[in-house]
Amino acid sequence: MAADAPEATTVGQRPPRVLTGIGVGRGVAVAPLVVLAPPPRAPADEPSAVDPATALERIEAAFQAVGSSLAARAAATDGALADILDATASMAHDPAMLTAVRRHLDEGHGPATAVTNAAAGFADALRAAGGRVADRVTDLNSVRDRVVARLLGADTPALHDIDGQFVVAAVDLAPADAAALDPSRVVAIVTEQGGPLGHTAIVAGQLGLPCVVQVAGITAVDAGTLVAVDASAGTVTTDPPPEQVVATTARRDEVARTLALDTAPGATADGIGVALLANVGTVDDTRRAVDVTAEGIGLLRTELLFTGRQTAPTVEEQAEAYRGVLDPMAGKRVVVRTLDVGADKPLPFLDRPSEPNPALGVRGVRLDRTHPQLEADQLTALGALVAGMPEADRDDVWVMAPMVATTGEAARFADEARAHGIRTVGAMVEVPAAALRAHALLAELDFVSVGTNDLAQYTMAADRMAGDLSDLLDLWQPAVLDLVARTIRAGVDLGKPVGVCGESAGDPLMALVLVGLGASSLSMSPAAMPAVRLAVRAHTMERCREVAAVVLDADDAGTARARALGLADPDVVGLLGLGRWGPE
């Protein structure tokens, strides 16, 4: 996608204009705007290909190049974004697409038109399938746009060609464009479309960037215009007056300075410890976790080692990869989650039929039913690492299974992991069935970790990728909070650790609720940690308990959050901009 480069800023030359949208996360930024131009389209009068066979070769090469570049970007990133990019790359390599393109070439269309028409046919089929499959139309279109741009020779002044720091604006941000963002240059993201839980929001959270979505008219603003983005307020001010620029910059610097001051272990104001752990997928993430003085890793997503590969990694390759995370964390807890793939996150070497409801299909721990070797190899690799550690460190390697629904699954996994020499074994609680039976589950395990992302999805029967269902996916929904509370209560009753590693743990206000309920650890993206640390340290355990009590008593998500806000320290609310953000 092309980018219109900023040429000049315009402080004070035009009256400011305030555009509003939905703020995602917190934070403020001021910088010139870069507008990502819409991708080039096949010209309406494109002549038909003179030689369809040669045209097809060119098109195939374009698809290959796009697929390879997406796969390379996936490999260079992590987390949800890497998954999205990998899935997009696999679409570029789909041979069925070329068959369809060939048909359109034979019908007399030009190359770019043939690709556009073929992609449209696939998009219709994906939309007809509905649900999560339909969401992949965005990915398909992003592949189409890149291939068409190559065919038309319109590929791209990229963002990295632009000097200085800037705010990125786009109609929506395709995963492939998001992957190109350099967090040292991009200071905020603004889009016209997208939901607060959509791709853009995921990427912004991962990069720790302020973001406002659903801002009508942002792409019509001239490139280079100075804008002040306030994610807490959900506003973008064009041509902000100099005093606003000064105030916004001062606020950003003050927040950064205040957050940087505290690097101590997580604890309440009265000194009750709550371990602050990091969610990571790569060695780079682990470095970021070290930078924010995380007390360990609360969720190592091992998927990244597997996605994009044509064959399963060997036990030795796995051990090497896990060592890359364990070594920088020596002396600290590392919770390794076994593979959470299957269904809509297919692996090329997994021979699995497609499923009508992938989110409800064979994913996570359920893969043991069909491919037991995968889990066995992971546990063998981890067990070997544990066996090679000094005695004092062996208790630091914890392992947990994703998508556990029954006590039987928990017991089987625990037996298996312990047989491989891993001493501390647990499960994610992200299926309502597991939360409802948390006491029984914990009787089999040493700990559990609540995955609020999937727990919200399955409790509310709302696809976690669906931006238009964001009200249902709100993590303050009473039903979700009830299940979180029930799970933590089981841990408190049995004297076993219950952590939270979904997005809830990275929200400073929700963190107070979780601490008040008795969560023993909070695990989040490294970017979220300083604000959570500050919020927890500013409140006593008694105050956190009060917050939890009033929140659990609320009948809807907006009321729950507003009540938490009402009891939170006003200085923290002001500093972190918590008051103006959120669904209420």
Residues that bind Mg ion (CB under 5 A): 430, 451, 454
Q: 143, 44, 42, 49: which is closest to 97 by C-alpha?
A: 143
Give the residue with the Cβ less far from ligand PEP, 23 or 79: 79
Are 275 and 296 within 8 A, CB to CB?
yes
Q: 503-515 burial, b if ≥16 CB within 10 A, otherwise e?
A: bbbbbbbbbbbbb
With binding defined as CB under 6 A, does residue 451 bind ligand PEP?
yes
| Measured CA distances, 451 to 202, 409, 435, 436 (Å) | 16, 17, 10, 14
The least distance separating ligand PEP from the CB of residue 402, rounded to whole angstroms, comes to 7
Q: How many CB atoms within 10 Å of residue 331?
A: 8
Helix (H), strand (E) at residue 541: helix 541-552
Which of ligand PEP, Mg ion, none does residue 512 bind (CB under 5 to 8 Å by kind)?
none
Residue 335 binds which of ligand PEP, Mg ion, none (CB < 5-8 A, kind-dependent): none
User: For ligand PEP, which is the closer residue by CB, 377 or 430?
Assistant: 430
Coil/strand/helix, residue 309:
coil
Q: Which does 452 bind (CB under 5 to 8 A by kind): Mg ion, ligand PEP, none?
A: ligand PEP
What burial letters (b/e) apply to 466-484, b meaning 16+ CB within 10 Å? bbebbebbbbbbbebbebb
Dihedrals φ, ψ of 166, to 5°? -155, 165
Helix (H, G, I), strand (E, B) or coil at 43: coil
Residue nearest to Mg ion (CB): 454
**Is 439 known to be catalytic?**
no
| Least separation in angstroms between CB 450 and ligand PEP | 7
Round to whole Å and give the CA distance between 195 and 1.
Answer: 21
Q: Least distance (Å) from Mg ion to the CB of residue 506?
A: 14
Closest separation in Å from C-beta 425 to ligand PEP: 18
399 DSSP β-pair partners: 336, 425
Q: Active-site residue 420, yes or no? A: no
C-alpha to C-alpha distance for 558 and 563, rounded to whole angstroms? 9
What's the half-sphere exposure (Cβ side, CA atoms, 13 Å) at 434?
A: 32
Q: Which of residues 429-448 bind ligand PEP (CB under 6 A)?
A: 430
Q: Which is nearer to ligand PEP, 48 or 406 (CB)?
A: 406
Give the nearest distance from C-beta 404 to Mg ion in angstroms.
11
Considering the complex, state which of residue 6 and residue 402 has its C-beta at the smaller distance from Mg ion. Answer: 402
Helix (H) or strand (E) holding 532, with range, is helix 529-537
* Least distance from ligand PEP to the Cβ atom of residue 212, Å: 23
Which one of 211, 371, 420, 501 is the catalytic residue?
501
Q: Choose from ligand PEP, Mg ion, none: what does 301 bind? Cβ within 5-8 Å by kind.
A: ligand PEP
Query: Among 250, 396, 255, which residue's Cα sits nearest to residue 322?
Result: 396
Q: How many other CB atoms are there within 10 angstroms of residue 332's CB atom? A: 18
Q: Return the number of the residue (145 or 430) whose C-beta is nearest ligand PEP.
A: 430
Judged by CB, which is closer to Mg ion: 402, or 526? 402
Q: How many residues bind ligand PEP, per CB under 6 A?
A: 10
Q: Which does 26 bind (CB under 5 to 8 A by kind): ligand PEP, Mg ion, none?
A: none
Tell me which of 104, 199, 371, 420 is the catalytic residue.
199
Site for ligand PEP (CB under 6 A): which residue of 116, 214, 219, 453? 453
Considering only residues 465 to 524 of the shown chain, the ones binding ligand PEP according to CB under 6 A are 501-502
CA distance 118 to 122: 7
For 150, the token pair is 């190559």
Find out whether 191 and 172 touch, Cβ atoms under 8 Å: yes
The interface partner of residue 501, options being Mg ion, ligand PEP, none and the CB cut-off 5 to 8 Å by kind, is ligand PEP
- CB of residue 301 vs ligand PEP: minimum separation in angstroms? 5
Residues 310-369 that bind ligand PEP (CB under 6 A): 340
Catalytic residue IDs = 199, 501
| Residues binding ligand PEP (CB under 6 A) | 299, 301, 340, 430, 451-454, 501-502
